[in-house]
Each structure stands twice: as C-alpha cells, then as structure tokens.
Amino acid sequence: MLLVFDVGNTNTVLGVYEGNKLIKFWRIGSDKQKTSDEYGMLINDLFAHSGFELSQVESIIISSVVPDVMHSLENFCKKYCNINPLIIGPGIKTGLNIKYYNPKQVGADRIVNAVAGIEKYGYPLIIIDFGTATTFCAISDKAEYLGGVIAPGIKISSEALFQNASKLPRVELLNPGMTICKSTTQAMQAGMVFGYAGMVDKIVDTMKKELGGGDIKVIATGGLANLISSETDRIDHIDPMLTLYGLKIIYDKNK
C-alpha cells in the first residue's frame, strides 16, 4: 500500500493506493502546530475507520508547500510506519522539463500537477489549481513546464474583504445566481464567484495566445474548482484527484 500526502497551506489531502488504484482519500487541516504523535493518532483513526491499518503501508510520498509541517510529518512516517518518505524536491525524478528561470522556485504541487496532467491529458495544457492561492500553469506542445500565474485564492480574497471593510460580513462562498444583488451577502458572493470566473477567462485566453493557440486543454483541480467552473466555459475537465495521481506517477519513477 502506498500512502500519498498533498500538503497545502490550508488543507492536506492524503490517500492510499493499492497497486494503481486510489482506494481511499481524506482531507484534513494543515496544522503547523501538530506533532508527529498527533498525526499518528489522527491518521491511525482515519485508517481504522476505513478498515485499514498503518502496518499495511509499504511506501510514502509527500508533496508539501508548507515547510513547517514537514518535521512532524516526516517523524510520523518514521515513528508510526517505519518508513523514510520520498519527498518532492531537488533530486527527485519527475521527467518534467522545467523552463522557469529558477526551477527550485516552482511549488511542489505545481510540479506534481504538471506531471499528472501530461500523463492523463496530453499536451499542450493549462492547469488551474483553486487552492489557498489560485495557480495557472502552462505546458508546451513539447511537454515543457513553461511557468504561469499565481493569484490570491478566492477564500483569501473573501477573508481580506471581511477583515478590512468594517461593515461587510464574513460570507459563505456560494454562487448567488445573479450579479444585480439585493443583499450585501449576495453582492459579496457575486463579486467573488463572477470576479474569479472573469479572471479565469482572461488568464486562460491570454495563456492560449502565448502558447500559440490550437487545441489546448484546460484542467481544473483544487477544492473550489466546481464553484468557479460553473461560471466559465474555459475549463474542459475538473480533476479533484490530479495531485494524488501525480504523486503516484512520480513514486513509480523513483522506486
């Protein structure tokens, strides 16, 4: 059994593979204060609830954009699974040709998504990840990782609006179904959903021009992909498990 971790700034998604099949996944909060023992108890409970045991884990691979979590998470792997985890970073074989000025600056999640996207959907390709930040990644017709765009995530923007405007409430991120809104809550929701959909349209259109046009698939992943994709026709596929799939591919390249 392979245990995979996708550690984001807000949430951590972990899953287990049996052979090539993802048989279970969970989403937990990314907590910088959590100890290795707390991770051990939490993940052991998640396993037990699904009829698994930590002793079944044979290998572990981790993608993380939160360095402060890694000490506890690595210690969990060693203490509770007796495994030294494979960690996405320098020296790991990905098969990805990265054209960034400094490849070390590319987030681990963006690399993993690109590997998965190329394998699953071909290229050229645009991948949008709706996470704490919203990232857009461009893959060339030669399967090269060219770079992309990083924008504040929709939750960050919503929270900033609440914190910095005295009379505006914290609102749930929902599509109000209209832009001429008759309540403050709906007006804020419309601003978030339609504003981000407009951003997606503009960035995707510009990226496609820079990639030379033609048949360029656009893949969306991340927790809020469904919310935004309902208001744009630029997204071809929603793939919530894209990163976990990429982790399995990279594990196979390095085992």
CATH number where 70 lies? 3.30.420.40
Average pLDDT over residues 208-229: 94
109 is catalytic: yes
Q: CA–CA separation, 122 vs 202, rounded Å?
A: 23
pLDDT category at 255 given cuts 50, 70, 90 is confident
At 54 the pLDDT is 95
Q: CA–CA separation, 164 vs 85, rounded Å?
A: 41
pTM for the predicted model, two decimal places: 0.92
pLDDT category at 13 given cuts 50, 70, 90 is very high
At 114 the pLDDT is 97
At 162 the pLDDT is 85
Does residue 160 form part of some domain? yes
At 245 the pLDDT is 97
CA nearest to 234, candidates 211, 254, 207, 212:
207
Indicate whether 119 and 59 sit together in one domain: no
At 161 the pLDDT is 87
Does residue 250 form part of some domain? no
Domain of residue 150 covers 97-240
Does residue 253 form part of some domain? no
Indicate whether 61 and 130 sit together in one domain: no
At 105 the pLDDT is 92
Query: 76 pLDDT exceeds 90?
Result: yes
Indicate whether 107 and 222 sit together in one domain: yes
At 99 the pLDDT is 94
pLDDT in tens, 138-178: 999 999 999 999 999 998 898 888 888 888 888 989 999 99
Q: CA–CA separation, 18 vs 32, rounded Å?
A: 29
Q: CA–CA separation, 26 vs 202, rounded Å?
A: 33
pLDDT in tens, 87-127: 999 889 999 999 999 998 999 999 999 999 999 999 999 99
Average pLDDT over residues 3-21: 95
- Considering 65, 87, 109, which residue would you say is the last residue of a domain? 87
pLDDT category at 64 given cuts 50, 70, 90 is very high
Does residue 77 form part of some domain? yes
Residue 157 corresponds to which tokens in the numbers above?
A: 């923007």
Strand ranges, E, within the chain? 2-7, 11-18, 21-29, 59-64, 86-87, 97-98, 125-130, 133-139, 144-152, 217-221, 237-238
Which of 6, 37, 45, 109 does the annotation list as catalytic?
A: 109
Mean pLDDT of the chain: 95
pLDDT in tens, 14-53: 999 999 999 999 999 999 999 999 999 999 999 999 999 9
At 91 the pLDDT is 86
Indicate whether 144 and 233 sit together in one domain: yes
